[in-house]
Structures are given as C-alpha cells and as structure tokens.
Amino acid sequence: MPITDLLERNSKLYGEEVALVEINPEIKEEQRVTWKEYELIQPTSTSYYRRQITWSVFDEKANRVANMLMERGIKKGQKCAILLMNCLEWLPIYFGILKCGAVAVPLNFRFTSEEIDYCLKASDSDVLFYGPEFIGRIEDIAEKLKKEMLLYYVGDQCPSYAEDYYKQVSNSSSTAPRVLIEDKDDAAIYFSSGTTGFPKAILHIHTALMQSAKMEAIHHETTHEDNFLCIPPLYHTGAKMHWFGSLYTGSRAVLLKGNSPEAIFRAVSEEHCTIVWLLVPWAQDILAALDSGKLKMEDYKLSQWRLMHIGAQPIPPSLVRHWLQYFPHHKYDTNYGLSESTGPGCVHLGMENVHKVGAIGVPGYGWKTKIVDEEGNPVKQGEIGELCVKGPGVMVCYYKNPEATAEILKNGWLFTGDMARQDEDGFIFLVDRKKDVIISGGENLYPVQIESFLMKNDKIHDAAVIGLPDPRLGEIAAAIIQVKEGMTLTEEDVDAFCVDLPRYKRPRKIIFDKVIRNATGKIDKPKLRQKYCGDHLVEKQNQG
C-alpha cells in the first residue's frame, strides 16, 4: 500500500494521541506564527518553545495541503519542492503533496541560490514551499521562479512575490482528496550529496518508502509506546526513513532543533524519548561533555532511553565502546545506506550484534548484498571490492539522467561506490569510498581504516584522512586531527601513536585543524581536499 495509507490509519486508530512534537530551545513563543490547531504547550518544567500535533490534525493538515495544490491545478505526477528547516509544518506538507498524487522533492537547507535553482529545474518542480530562513536565497532567484512555479511562503510576513501558505491552506478542505495512489506510483525525489558537482535527482516510488517504514520498525523493534527523537534534517533520507518507523507503529516523535549535548539530554529527559539517532559528531560531543563533567547524567531522566543508533558514515568502534561505558543498558545499531537505497538500513549491524562493532552489518530486511571486483564479479570472502545492494528500496533511476543511472544500476543491483569486505561470519566491513582511496607508491590506502585507528587516541576528538599529491609516491596520507578541548597533542605524539600501524599506512603529514563535516555528519572530503590540496580535488573527482 502507499505510504499515505499509514497516516490515514493512524488518524483513525490514534487520532487524539500526539504524533509530533517540535522543540526549539533557541526561540521564544512570539517569534513564530503557528497554525491555530497546533497546541502550543510549555510545561512548567520547560522554558523553551514547544508545539505538538495529534495524528488526526496531522492527517487533516495533509488533506488541506493536498486540496490546496489540486485547487491550483497540480496533478498527479507533478513535482513539489520543500525547502524548510525542521518544523511541525514539514511532514504535513510532505504528506499533502503525496496525497494529491504529486511527487515530494525535499531540498537541502544548505543549498545556495544557484543550487536551489538547479535542483528545481532538474526535478521539474512546479511548486516550492519555503520558510523564512531562506528568504535571502530565494529573493536572488525570485523573479525567475515566480514565472515558472507556485511559491508558498511558510512563515510570517509573506514576501510580495510569494503566496501566504497559512492563509491559503486554511481556506482549503480538510476532506481526504479522491486520488488513486498505487504502490508503483512515483513518490519522492531526493538529491545526492553532490560531492562531485551538482547533486543528482533520485526518484523513488511508494513501494520504496513503505519498505523503509516496515524495515525501520523491524530493525529497531519499534512499538506504539516508543518515542523517537529526530535531530537531523528531514530533507535527508536518513532522518525521514528513521521517522517512518514511528509512522509505521503510530508512535510519537520529537523534532529537536539544536544538537548540543544539553539540548539532546534535556529532550530525552523531559519528553521521555526511548530511541535516538545520532550522527558521529553529536555522539562525540556528548561523550566529551560527560568526560569533562560539563554534562552530568544524574541531572536528567534517561532510564527510558533504550536505543542509540548511528549512521551516515563509518563509525569508530572506540566511540561505541566509550558510549557503552556510560550507557551499558543501551541497545546499539549501526545503519548503512544511500539516498539511492531510500536511506539507511539496506545493511545494518543489528541490535544483537554489538560484539561486531566496526562492521556495518548484514543485509537489512528485504535486502541482498554482494561485493564485486572491477569487472563486476564477486570477490572471495575477506577480499576488498565494491559493495552492491539489491532490494525493494532501490531507486527507480536518476531522474532524466539515463547515463548516470546506467553507471550505478546494473541488473537490479545498486553499485554503491563503497569499498567493503565480508568476514567469516558474513558481516560486512566498510573500507572506504571508492573515490577516496589513496594510492601511495602503488599501495591502496583506505582512509577509514586510518581514521578508526587514530580515534583510539583519547586526546583526539575527530580525525579525517585525505590524499595529498606527492611527486614521488603520487599521493601521501594526510591526517587532519581535531584535538579534544583542553588537551595538547604534537606531531611527534601522533607519529609515536601510529607505530602500531603498518609503515605504509602511517600518515605522512599531520594537520591540526577542525574536521569539516556536512549537514548529515559525514566528513566532507571534497572540502578538505580543496582546503589542503586545491587542484588535486579535481583529479580525485575525475577518479570517482
């Protein structure tokens, strides 16, 4: 069934129960306009901005969005883009687009005006919903956009070139639209991270979204009693598909704006959250705050927190072991995936396999995997090759880009571009991105392996390894190291620590600096290469 059926089911079964809560510790009540049906609640124990919405109101608002779009001539299959920070309006707009049979196109909130314009064209979008945080970027291209599409402003003091979303949607019917939606219908276009140029448009059907919802609930044993704390941006498949587990079970979720250790602990404590998905930097920050004493567990109610899981990048095993020292009762899972595979879960560690920390895991629910050589032939167990996945969550295509689609989709298999190996127990270990492999003196160096080793040093907060050009060896491994606050580390210290690495794997250059990461927590290797080796970045991109 299409993913919209889950929302309608939840409205019938759990109509008066809370579906979503929005928390923003940084703004005050009067700074944001709200739909009147959204309850603005500030319990005596809190002093931050908080709104909540029930399942019935969630469904009603989605219906209003769908009918508003249909009244303006939007038909099944047309594309509607969303450029919003996480907020209570985000998901009703997303589901309203789906309910009228249109295709939702979430946009990265970090996109520049040029990238926004590019993605709207690449996806053939006819509508753009955007919030106050993006006024400047949209104004740069507004004259062009308003001639080509409907612009809905989701905020107070609507600009003259856009339509007031709140006013328009409040005048639309709350009755469910009569649009036949089938499993095979196009549902959403997500954009790749664009690490080698402008991002690619990834097309998914309703079957893929439903697969991710069921898979998430199964992987993490989500029940109706759970409460998921969602911190990452909803435009990203990671956050969205993990929340789909809450949608599948009709359970509550909290949208938290802010990722400081204090904000996360406070939300878990006061909202009684049971499941939290963290990115590596946030987990690192929490551990650093606990280690320093700035954050004290006894100040918060955390006993109900049962699961912490991480994804979006390789996870240093040392981080997980450190985490379990503070939270020995926690279940833990690692999730691997791509936007091309409807986000996380095509491979996952499994909550019962914490003894295999370091692996990304085994094929997820409904998925198959294989590891192949350059010719596409399976490698022997234990050998390194490219990871391929196959399942109901694989994308249909890169929208209107058959050449790029053919490069990554072959006989139903999605070639991930990630280098991996499989151990004797069938667990898959990620080695590195194919394009990030460093070739030094004819030897392949895998940065992830070196980064994981460096992260064992208790003075290192974060580490990234990139290739720098070298006239003799072609490339050398350079380590960008971010030292923990209040600690000191020298190049000699790092060299001494790395003596346990094979000589050819040891970083030949040490750079003490902040590790650049993108919005989803991944190390931004292209930006690091641009910063430290300039034109060498182009060569690496061409290799990818």
What does the alpha-carbon distance between residue 430 and residue 316 come to, in Å, rounded to a whole number? 11
What does the alpha-carbon distance between residue 87 and residue 65 come to, in Å, rounded to a whole number? 16
Read off the pLDDT of residues 498-542 as tens digits, 9 standing for 90 and up.
Answer: 988 878 789 999 999 999 887 667 788 878 888 887 544 333 333
Residue 544 has pLDDT above 90, yes or no: no
Residue 196 has pLDDT above 80, yes or no: no
The predicted structure's pLDDT at residue 42: 44
What does the alpha-carbon distance between residue 290 and residue 325 come to, in Å, rounded to a whole number? 11
Read off the pLDDT of residues 403-460 as tens digits, 9 standing for 90 and up.
Answer: 999 999 999 999 998 889 999 999 999 876 667 778 776 667 878 888 888 988 989 9
- Average pLDDT for residues 379-399, to the nearest whole number? 95
Neighbour count for residue 304 (Cβ, 10 Å): 14
Share of the chain above pLDDT 70, in %: 90
Contact 231, 282 (CB under 8 A): yes
Homologous superfamily (CATH) of 4-219 is ANL, N-terminal domain (3.40.50.12780)
Contact 345, 364 (CB under 8 A): yes
What does the alpha-carbon distance between residue 64 and residue 37 come to, in Å, rounded to a whole number? 13
Main-chain dihedrals φ then ψ at residue 421, nearest 5 degrees:
-140, 160
What does the alpha-carbon distance between residue 428 and residue 422 come to, in Å, rounded to a whole number? 4
Neighbour count for residue 538 (Cβ, 10 Å): 12
Query: Which of left, alpha, beta for 446 (phi over 0: left; psi -120 to 50: alpha)?
Result: beta
The predicted structure's pLDDT at residue 525: 80
What does the alpha-carbon distance between residue 95 and residue 339 come to, in Å, rounded to a whole number? 19
What does the alpha-carbon distance between residue 315 and residue 331 come to, in Å, rounded to a whole number? 16
CATH class for the region spanning 437-543: alpha beta
What does the alpha-carbon distance between residue 178 and residue 76 come to, in Å, rounded to a whole number? 11
Supply 428's token pair: 């898959």
Residue 480 has pLDDT above 70, yes or no: yes
Main-chain dihedrals φ then ψ at residue 124, nearest 5 degrees:
60, 40
The full set of domain ranges for the chain reads 4-219, 437-543
Cα-based angle 79, 85, 87 (whole degrees, multiple of 5): 95
End-to-end Cα distance, the chain: 37
Contact 64, 172 (CB under 8 A): yes
Do strands 227-230 and 252-256 pair parallel, antiparallel, or not at all (unpaired)?
A: parallel
Read off the pLDDT of residues 18-38 as tens digits, 9 standing for 90 and up.
Answer: 999 999 877 654 444 444 445
pTM: 0.82
CA dihedral 393, 399, 403, 404 (to 10 degrees): -60
Short-list 35, 38, 266, CA closest to 165: 35
| Sign of the torsion angle spanned by Cα atoms 414, 360, 541, 137 | positive
Grouping H, G, I as helix, E, B as strand and the rest as coil, residue 276 is strand
